[in-house]
Amino acid sequence: MQHNINSNMKITILGGGSFGTALACQIAENENNQVTLLVRNEEISEEINREHINSKYFPNKRLPHNLKASTDLSILGNAELIFLAVPTKSIPQIIDTLKKYLKPESLVVNVAKGLFDEGKTIVEYLREVLEFENIITLKGASFSVEMINSAPTLVTLGFENKAQLIKVETAFSKTNIYLDFTTDIRGVELLSALKNIYAILLGHIDAKYNAANTRFLFLTKAFSEIKIILKAMGGKPETMDLSCGIGDISLTALNDLSRNRTLGLLIGKGFYNPSFQDNSVVLEGIKTLKLIDKAISEDLRRKLPLLQEMISLLVKEGEYTLNLDFDELFKKNYTTVLTYGTFDLLHYGHLEILRRAKQLGDRLIVGLSTDKFNEGKDKVCIIKYEKRKQLLEALPYVDLVIPENTWDQKAEDVQTHHVDVFVMGSDWEGKFDHLKEYCEVRYFPRTRGISTSALKKVLDKDQLF
């Protein structure tokens, strides 16, 4: 299939730092690309255009002759593809410029890393303040010093539609940059911030223990925790399998070119002190940790002991090293959660209680009322038991569905399935307290604004199945 993509694409990289320069060099390897590196300093611009070097970042590297540099912001108005490669803290300062020159058909690709207040990603922030939707993200395992030397590099493109994917693929053709991709833009953006926290931790582990077994013990645990946080903050767990996930986390945590790992090494060797609080890596780490801590529930925190250690170190005052109790960190209490319901006309309220129940443990069992049991309660279900069972089994939260045949079976089910936590909606408050003899009993508030009874009133059941 032929795609109508301009063979002489006008591309601007906004930001002439190490990564922006390295990215521009690789894209300029494709001679069909007209690449301009937009920099702030006129001397740097002249040096790149005249001598083909950026002496501030790569004094010994000759840049491609077809790579141009400029300080003229108006070139953004001619760009079909714009890579945003400025420090995250500088992004608010360029909003007015972007608003002035962005044209509707321009595609903006964010390569900056970090989070804004309330856990908002850079792409989400840009779309909001620019009132411009054609913004996507590019992240992955990529050190600029290796990229500029043409080391084959895999990065992840988070995109929305195929036209965006094709445009970026075209720009990267005939270069040493390769793409994997996902439509989980939020997940790609989140991982670029989360991986830095755990890179500090892994640096500390290597400095303190210098043992491969211990390093990968913690790396394995780090992957597990990051996936939990990613899902809790709105990303997709499978995004971890891409370059922006496993690739970038491993690169940042295990390679000494990483600033975050280097900070961890210093902590592990006992050099961390209050003066580090002004370090940009520490400041970004503190900001990210606070955002994560605010975004996740208390139940999830119990599953994130490494994160809690990093919060104690960087956020709370008076801690200058990690105090790791291996027995506590890796104590695994396998927890089984049990809930019951009819789950007729499966809706958002059902999903919420199942999601929250799953967060309490490792295995979620759902006792589903049978058609015969419902008849005994003078309750008519629109959806038959087998179909309701299939719907529940298709949900990622649910591990096992068992039939609920009587009111009195719950104590036996709790004991048979070794249940640790029993969960019901708050409308059953106190009704199952007798089960506290066998397990913890929790009552969740119902989701407001939706109920099966209300749905049945507005739907014609004869038209459903």
Residues marked active site are found at: 195
**In angstroms, rounded to a whole number, what is the distance separating the alpha carbons of residues 1 and 232?**
39
Is residue 110 within 8 Å of residue 135, measured between CB atoms?
Answer: yes
Rg (CA), the chain: 27
List, in order, residues 6 or more apart from 38 with CB less than 8 Å away: 12, 13, 14, 15, 16, 69, 70, 71, 72, 73, 75, 76
Nearest to 419 by CA among 353, 339, 338: 338
CB atoms inside a 10 Å sphere around CB 51: 11
Is residue 39 within 8 Å of residue 49, measured between CB atoms?
Answer: no
* Alpha-carbon separation of residue 108 from 111, 113, 178 (angstroms): 10, 15, 19
The token pair at 254 is 């295990």
CB atoms inside a 10 Å sphere around CB 159: 24
Q: What is residue 460's three-state secondary structure?
A: coil
**In angstroms, rounded to a whole number, what is the distance separating the alpha carbons of residues 16 and 302?**
43
Q: What is residue 400's three-state secondary structure?
A: strand
**In angstroms, rounded to a whole number, what is the distance separating the alpha carbons of residues 31 and 38?**
19
Nearest to 7 by CA among 165, 157, 134, 171: 171
**In angstroms, rounded to a whole number, what is the distance separating the alpha carbons of residues 233 and 368?**
29
CB atoms inside a 10 Å sphere around CB 446: 14
